[in-house]
Chains A and B, each alone.
Chain A
Amino acid sequence: MNTAVNSDYLASLLAGARAGADSFSGLRARGIECANALTLPTTRDEEWRFTDLAPLQKISFQPALEAGAVAGEALAAFHAAEAPLRLVFVDGVYATALSVRAALPDGIRAGTLRDLARDHGALIERHLARHARFEDSAFTALNTGFLRDGALIAAGNGCECPVPLHLLFVATRRAAPQVIYPRCLIVAEPGSSLTVVEDYVALGDGVYLTDAVTEVAVGAGARVTHVRLQRESPAAFHVSRCAVSQSRESRYRSAAVAFGARLSRHNLEVTQLDEGVETRIDGLAVIGGRQLADTHTFMDHARPHGVSRQLHKCVVADGAHAVFNGKVMVRAGSRLTDSSQSSRNLLLSPRARVDTKPQLEIFADDVKCTHGATVGQLEDDEVFYLRSRGLSEPDARGLLTYAFAAEVIERVPVESIRRVLRNVVLQRTQQRSEA
């Protein structure tokens, strides 16, 4: 793929940008300017070594001008009973009629960027596009170049929200392939606490591109729990970025689960801006067929006394391909960092493939950084043990595979979602065994 064709493709995506003046036009202009100077990554870029975007570039995606029609009942399966608030975006457009907005505790705000721009302009100005820099990322620059609206969740000083808030992004099947640019901003002011579920689903199996950007600002002493679900259409492309900034003594815990999309790439970067910060980022990808799921994370211990824990698991069946790159940087002066990362991968077939790479860059003394990666299959002894108790071979393999994935699923703090995830994994492992 030569550069000229590559930047032509990026240019073709930019050609869909519309003019218009609103609070975000300045930001959009800067996004477009950056995108114009960039090209899409190729496999010659180290960060995209295993993830070839050529299939993406064969398709011409148009930004959806309006949302597809969706009946409320069609989304019933995606409801999380524990969440009193559900903001629904269809094809990137906020759908008032499909959303649920119950009363929230004092100081907790949730709505669209446009709705909240008037009363929370200062907060938005302080955070939007400040955490996910777009100067060096074509996809982030594109998303910013198209930014007209998005989801905003904010918790004021010391305000706690004990219930999960659900952001549901639905892609419908359109006549022609569409590109959607979801945008989320989550701000937890000092001492506050929030639980957010960021959920990408599809109705039907259309071909589309999701280019999503989420920013999370965790203030001093604040606690944010973030559940990310990706259940896109099997023919879709999902490229996403989540940038998290943590202030002093804050806590950020996230569980990201990926089941869908023909090709998915998730970039998660967490920066510990101050001392005494705790970060836990767990991930699970369960893929089959010829799916590719790529997760790149960057844990930046920029200050001392930080703790980070990461468990990333992939279950790979048929001829699918999972990629994991877990970068941990401990900057000079970040003494007493305590970091551990584990990448565990289960191959269910001879054609399945995993590329996993922990990447540690340590520039401080007096730190504890552990990392480990395993790639393997189900052990014959484990399978035999279960069969010797009466389970058929497919059931034994299914149970063991489910148990492998369950470790991350059990870390999702919303029971109704845990149930859904367990069922999806069970279904997928059973289907496989019946094949």
Chain B
Amino acid sequence: MIVPGAPPLLEVRGLTATVAGTAILKGIDLSVRAGEVHAIMGPNGSGKSTFAKVLAGHPAYAVTGGEVRYRAENLLALAPEARARAGVFLAFQYPIEVPGVANSQFLRLAYNTLRTSRGEEELDPLEFDDFVREKLELVGMDPAFLERSVNEGFSGGEKKRNEILQMAILEPKLAILDETDSGLDIDALREVSAGVNKLSNRDNAIVLVTHYQRLLDHIEPDYVHVMEGGQIIKSGDKGLALELETRGYDWVRAEYEARRAA
């Protein structure tokens, strides 16, 4: 929701980044305020996922210019774990399997790490168990998932749900969901979206990176941005997403080229 006078959570100015020497992000400007839901759409290769990973601090990507402020702090100066502890959360497009580590153990570790960094006491396994069961209900996940190794043998949908479960547990201020809808069937999409909606409030913000419009039927965006060639070339409201659905992306590119030529 758009909250008048809400503080900015994320301010990106002229962000450029490369991976393995190739320029992917070529100057991104974006402003996200508390309470808002932003969608970043675009064709494959536009740099959407790269943007998400750069915000989270993935070491494979080198920032070559620009600035990112998160709650008035220089986000780029923080290590990935510091960003996480500050309330930035990335739901992975391809969540990693960690065989040998039980999901419950991993979730408790992540949660306790956060609590410690905030000066709060850790939860013991029993206390954490109560806490996590509430969250499981929120995202519609079966408690049986707690005993399995992290993401091991999980279906695509289960992995994405596990990401949203982590989001529910860590309660980030800025959640970036990287193609969370990919690989989900209709029911899973509905449930995952319901979970995200329940977690969204006036004080946090969500950035949805998605290729398809259908996710936005379930999670209503306040702003929609179109990315192409490593830049945001158009911004609008949710109506823009519907237009992209019917007309595709070409017209946006054409419009952008025309504006630049003029």
Q: Which residues of A contact B (CB under 8 A)?
A: 379-382, 384-393, 395-396, 399-400, 402-407
Contacts and interface: CB of A to CB of B under 8 A. Distances in A.
Contacts of A405: 100
A405 to B, nearest CB: 8
Interface of B: 56-60, 79-81, 83-85, 89-90, 92, 95-96, 98-101, 106, 109-110, 113-114, 117, 166, 170
B92 A385 contact: yes
Nearest to B60: A380
A388 B80 contact: yes
Nearest to B85: A390
Contact of A389 (B57, B59, B99, B170): B170
- Interchain residue pairs A-B with the least CB separation, the first 8: A403-B100, A389-B110, A385-B96, A387-B80, A390-B84, A390-B113, A406-B100, A403-B101
A390 B57 contact: no
Interface centre among B58, B89, B96, B109 (most CB of A within 10 A): B96
B109 A407 contact: no
A391 B113 contact: yes
A404 B101 CA distance: 9
Contacts of A393: 79, 81
Contacts of B81: 387-388, 390-393, 396
Contacts of B80: 384, 387-388
Contacts of A406: 100-101
Given A385-B95, A389-B113, A390-B113, 20 more contacts: A380-B59, A381-B96, A384-B58, A384-B59, A385-B98, A387-B80, A388-B56, A388-B89, A389-B106, A389-B110, A389-B170, A390-B84, A390-B110, A395-B113, A399-B98, A399-B101, A400-B98, A403-B101, A406-B100, A407-B99
Given A393-B81, A399-B109, A388 B100 contact: no
Contact of A382 (B98, B110, B113): B98
A287 to B, nearest CB: 19
Contacts of A386: 98
A69 to B, nearest CB: 41
A316 B83 CA distance: 31
Nearest to A402: B100
Nearest to A389: B110
B118 to A, nearest CB: 11
Contacts of A387: 57, 79-81, 84
